[in-house]
A and B are shown apart, each in its own frame.
Chain A
Amino acid sequence: MGYSAFKVFWEGLTGNKGWKPVWREPDPKPQYDIVIVGAGGHGLATAYYLAKEFGITNVAVLEKGWLGSGNIGRNTTIIRSNYLLPGNQPFYEKSLKLWENLEQDFNYNAMVSQRSILNLIHSDPQRDAFARRANAMRLSGADSELLGPEEIRALCPFLDFDNARFPIQGALRQKRGGTVRHDAVAWGYARGADMRGVDIIQNCEVTGFRMENGACVGVETARGPIRAGKTAVCVAGSSSRVMALAGMRLPIESHVLQAFVTEGLKPTLPGVITFGAGHFYVSQSDKGGLVFGGDIDGYNTYAQRGNLPVVEDVCEGGMAIMPMIGRARLLRMWGGVMDMSMDGSPFIDKTHIDGLYFNGGWCYGGFKATPASGYCYAHLLATGRPHEVAGAFRLDRFRRGAPIDEKGVGAHPNLH
């Protein structure tokens, strides 16, 4: 069913009774060309691009809960391509370009809102680092600007310019950065994949991999075995647990990232703002809530909840940078389990087991990567070769000595 203003109008006139299910609820078939494990954003995007770009539609996406229940349903919705390192930046720029055409591409309004991202600068070394980054962004074909305090004041007069412990000295701005309605991304990809014949099977947990002669030939599930030409794991947050079923240990730890939203408020913020001298980033949703977050709690956990010290730390950052939000009430906090990798960067790769592929390690940056991750994973699955913008995301990079460490903190997952 195509969506359009006319369709909404017609259904409105006829009592909204003609809407059809956005996706089928199929039973699993015994065999698929490709089985994707995990119907989160990346898994659904992979299925969508496999079908749409590579013509592979005999595909199942298996999900242990409801589709979109991964971190696509729990994040702060930010998109940007303001990375530094050559292993990362072209990938995120590819992702941003896909975001920019996504809605027309999958005929679903995910409210891609490019209202800019502003990374505030509070020291000279930080300015040097952001200048390096801004130029790296330009070299990758992305947009970037360095702003001075007066330009920032004009954009955001509510920031603390006069009484700050760490005065604002400037900012890196990417105008094309912004936010997206996160759930709609999952729904749009699911709908697009389903329409092209992909089976999305909810409430179907994978409990093991079927191995023959050392190769992976499918999965065991709560709803019986399913054979697959290729098995593509895409379960960030549960990566270690699922890959352990194949006997693999990963360069990943699980950590919780808390995020927060306030009660609805009339629009105030011009885009995404990040504080450079504390852990705080914020945007305002189309419904009016301030959506914000900060640092991960810092200890290994699979519990989707955090603790008070980090809540306080994040709010301290918020009050330090924009003291006007003191009377805004925090309405809801939630925690997502992150695949924190050893260098803060992800993996899209074949494993050493034939037929088994892995996509994970997205740390807390997986949302913005969704389209490119799906596209590049589909490319790898369809062609057997990594996509050129994802060539650095290999599992063997630590053995080779080629980490992609944007923050420069080394093999400390909780510091990335």
Chain B
Amino acid sequence: MTRPNRLNPGLTDRARPLNFSFNGRNMMGYQGDTLASALLANGQRLIARSFKYHRPRGVFSAGSEEPNALVQLRRGAALEPNTRATVAELFDGLHATSQNHRGSLEFDIMAVNDLLAPFLSAGFYYKTFMWPKAFWEKLYEPVIRASAGLGRLSLQPDPDVYDHGYLHCDLLVIGAGPAGLSAALAAGRAKARVIVADEDFRPGGRLNSETYEVDAIPGHDWAARAWAELLAMDNVRCMTRTSVFGAFDHGIFGALERRTDHLANSGGKPRQVLWRIYSRRSVLCAGATERPIAFANNDRPGVMLAGAVRAYSNRFGVTPGQRVAVFTNNDDGRRTAADLSALGVAVTGIVDTRLDEFIVDTTGRKELKTVLTNAGRRIEADCLAVSGGWSPNVHLTCHQRGRPTWRDDIAAFVPGPDLPPGMAVAGAANGAMTLAAALAEGRAAANAAVRDLGFAPSRKPVPRAEDEAFDIKPFWHVKGHKRAWVDLQNDVTAKDIRQSHLEGFRAVEHLKRYTTLGMATDQGKTANVLGLALMAEASGKTIPETGTTIFRPPCTPVPIGAFAGRARGRDFRPVRRTPSHAWAQENGADFVETGIWLRAQWFRHPGEKGWRDSVDREVTQTRRSVGICDVTTLGKIDVQGRDAAEFLNKIYANAFAGLPVGKVRYGLMLREDGICHDDGTTARLGETHFVMTTTTANAATVFRNMEFARQCLWPDLDVHLISTTDAWAQFAVAGPNARALLAKVVDDLDLSNAAFPFMACAECTVCGGTPARLFRISFSGELAYEIAVPARYGDAMIRALMAAGKEFAVVPYGTEALGVMRIEKGHAAGNELNGQTTAAQLGLGRMVSKKKDGIGSTLSERPEMNRDDDLRLVGFQPVDPSDALNAGAHFIEINDETPDMHSDLGWMTSVAHSPELGHSIGLGFLKRGADRMGDILRAYDPVRGKDTRVRVVATHHIDPEGERQRG
């Protein structure tokens, strides 16, 4: 295949040819090409279709501002939609396809929209599709949605990995064009820690695309030398392929580094790295973006920005056309013609608005053929280089709500006075539109920053370059009847903007939202200022009076996968395992997520048909003999100090000051608003030493609140807290044979009921000297203990306990059996302690001491929290024992014919099958519950199609007197 558009190697490497394909057509490019330059070299002009009218589109720019040339890159799970061909680096085997067309790219049937354009003007969809009503969901919306979007997702998990990284520096230089290189050199030479980042794979910015000289050598050579000098400095980190996308608080920047996007295969390495850069100062050297002029049919493939035409011809050695015309309102246009002529490309005409000539129309549906001017000139051209001036890339200066200001002399917005703290701006981004000025500003900004930080600036002078001509006379729009595009991707035309004004959508934000101007993937980088100019024209205001929209991060789009990093799949959150995890795994445990903990929920035995079999067996055997459960996940807090008792008295709603040494007490904790927060037990191991347990779920918040009370409310109490959840492995040993089992492992401690009664605690040793703590507490309602050993002995402890229990046929039990037994005993757990319930509702009202100041005691007395007709926690049994109860059912009266909101008497919080009782049991909150013992109600569960008669009973379904736990 011939590639007539290849002029010379430019900055590509002819020694490294690369094969690639576009829409199945095999093509060839070189190392150093972008997909766009390679497509142009191969004569591929039609690359995409626009969003709304499906107009044929080609390459428009040579950078990340590209509105047109979006493609789908790669295939399979690696399919990457909406990729700008202008920044996609070419690699061998690259596979690209076009997007957003039905039928082929060449014959897109959706292009019928273009014919219907008069009826698809700005906001048309707000005014129709309303009748008949049913048609919206059935017809209109499906049709609209079917045409939505550009590229498509693969629907498969992203096959690549992404990393996060953190970097620190004195000075972050954003952009490695002339200003950025000059800044980085200055700061680097001053020995400051510098990071210089550029989104391109080749540093140099416009130096690579223009024919300027710096220090009497070609600009791109100077850039390469500057980069080499920077790379050699230990104090400078040079980052290419890195887009600094956001300026966040306190000097923190977000940056995306593309690590393997330019390779055929990532080889398992991270595709991209999301860096958080912590900077003390920053210099923004992001350059400027060229903008077009609006004229009739200015969107045809072949119409490009003039700077892009120079980039393709100078840098990539590719001419975008064989007959190039130029349309300009400034001096850049003439430079384009000169550069092309020097390369031997035919320049067929220059149309300069400063000479009162402008383009009134173009022809060529799938590629540009001719342009017509108001002077009657008809210019043959397959490429039109357009320059409407340059807009400084001020985006990062606005991420903290700074607003840019307008400069008439360059007809552009420049950074305003409210820059993010620590930021300076240099070069074209600051409105310094010539090379010499950019070099000087970069150096000056860096020197000011490093001096501010205490470094001695280098005395090395600014590199020599010329101040090229930069004359511009604003010219935005060639008036006419035909459509002139402003926002190419979203198909917003000058007419749409006029109509927006006509209909009163005149505020900039109204304009943007009504017409969708600037809302496409390019965020209107080439369109926004032009759109503003047209609105200003329509409303008779100046551009600064018309305003500017707010720039929000990211400057350039960032893949969601990069933000997420490694936190996906099973690594989404860390896993906490209990000390007996390995043992449980060996013994058939099924695990369940409890927050980030993994806990055994039951232990499956051979022959058991389902989880209920396992759980029933565990409960039955625990209640019959003895069972063991790992309860390490409960929060444990060590409370020590002379004032520890007084402190706990404030933390708990019930009194703790009088708890004797060697005793455990159940404690109820309120939030300051009087609602129950948590419950647990606290043991007094010594006069000044308590050990608290919390629920698994609230371990962190209880500790946090206690530290708040300790440091902020009562700072002079002598009390210290340590979270020891991870330090101790703890096992519940429950059942009639619990004492006998423990007697075999506990050293020298009298476990008799007299010596170690219910709610006793002691420090002791087990297995011949291993330190331990023993608590006689019971969640199951059985004779029960909890034994704690340092976490490193947890695995050994479970094995020792199981071995000792063999003669009693001990069973391990999981969280399900634990739940069954606590429901049988009527203990509240997470479903009842849900942050909405009062002590009174839980039946624990009398625990809230009125004689002392405890957290939450005052606000718990508010009238609506103490109503007689309030909810009370009660028990439930099915009237027909064969009915299974469901948590989440609501209670209604038996004779309620038309249940509604007013019927609602409460809800079932927890249910279980009680193997001992042989039927389902439940706990739930019921209005006036205490007065309704024995009543029959309906557990109404329409969402599961159930409606069950239940009897109100006490919460203690078994052993109401508590004889077992005291035995």
Contacts and interface: CB of A to CB of B under 8 A. Distances in A.
The reply to whether A and B meet directly (CB within 8 Å) is yes
A267 B560 contact: no
Nearest to A343: B673
A330 B560 contact: yes
Given A103-B130, A265-B150, A21 B504 contact: yes
Contacts of B593: 122-123, 165-167, 277
A318 B248 contact: no
B670 to A, nearest CB: 10
Given A135-B907, A327-B80, A330-B557, A140 B901 contact: yes
Contact of B943 (A90, A134, A326): A134
A246 interface: no
Contact of A129 (B155, B276, B575, B888): B888
Contacts of A68: 510, 513
A163 interface: yes
Contacts of B935: none
Interface stretch (B186-194, B761-769, B859-867): B859-867
A44 to B, nearest CB: 14
A406 B772 CA distance: 42
Contacts, number: 366
B944 A146 contact: yes
B563 interface: yes
Name the residue among A22, A286, A331, A409 with the largest chain B CB count within 10 angstroms: A331
Interface string A158-196: 101001111100000000000001011001100000000
Interface stretch (A213-221, A349-357, A395-403): A395-403
A254 interface: no
Interface residues of A, number: 123
A334 interface: yes
A89 interface: yes
Given A264-B82, A332-B552, A86 B901 contact: yes
Contacts of A134: 888, 943
Interface string B844-863: 00000000000000010011
B544 interface: no
A283 to B, nearest CB: 12
Contacts of B455: none
A398 to B, nearest CB: 8
A324 B564 contact: no
A278 interface: yes
B129 A288 contact: no
A164 B907 contact: no
A293 interface: no
Interface in A115-129: 122-125, 127-129
B145 interface: yes
Interface stretch (A49-57, A301-309, A375-383): A301-309
B252 A323 contact: no
B150 A401 contact: no
B904 A331 contact: no
A4 B835 contact: no
Given A8-B119, A113-B141, A331-B521, A16 B499 contact: yes
A314 B79 CA distance: 23
B148 A164 contact: no
Contact of A21 (B162, B246, B502): B502
A19 B502 contact: yes
B587 to A, nearest CB: 22
B569 A267 contact: no
B553 A333 contact: yes
B889 interface: yes
B671 interface: yes
Nearest to B563: A315
A74 B859 CA distance: 37
Interface stretch (A26-34, A104-112, A223-231, A366-374): A104-112
A266 B148 CA distance: 6
B471 to A, nearest CB: 35
Interface in A1-53: 3-5, 7-9, 11-13, 15-17, 19-23, 25
Contact of A264 (B149, B565, B835): B149
Name the residue among B126, B146, B593 with the largest chain A CB count within 10 angstroms: B126
A287 B863 contact: no
Contact of B901 (A90, A125, A157, A405): A90
A140 B81 contact: no
A263 B907 CA distance: 44
Contacts of A314: 563
A358 to B, nearest CB: 21
Contact of B149 (A141, A266, A331): A266
Contact of A139 (B155, B572, B904): B904
A360 B62 CA distance: 48
A125 B831 contact: yes
A187 B887 contact: no
A385 interface: no
Given A12-B119, A325-B560, A402-B864, A164 B572 contact: yes
Contacts of B558: 329-330
A288 B148 contact: yes
Name the residue among B400, B568, B866 with the largest chain A CB count within 10 angstroms: B568
Contacts of B747: none
A254 to B, nearest CB: 15
A208 B126 CA distance: 37
Interface of B: 51, 78-82, 118-121, 124-131, 133, 136-137, 141, 144-146, 148-158, 160, 162, 164, 246, 248-249, 252, 254, 274, 276, 399-401, 495, 499, 502-505, 507, 509-510, 513-514, 516, 519-521, 523, 552-554, 557-561, 563-565, 567-573, 575, 592-594, 671-675, 677, 830-831, 834-836, 859, 862-866, 886-890, 899-901, 903-904, 907-910, 940-944
23 contacts: A4-B127, A66-B510, A68-B510, A86-B901, A90-B901, A104-B130, A110-B126, A131-B888, A131-B944, A135-B888, A135-B941, A140-B900, A144-B943, A146-B944, A163-B157, A163-B569, A311-B563, A323-B568, A324-B158, A327-B79, A330-B560, A399-B862, A401-B865
Given A21-B503, A265-B153, 4 more contacts: A131-B889, A135-B907, A264-B151, A325-B561
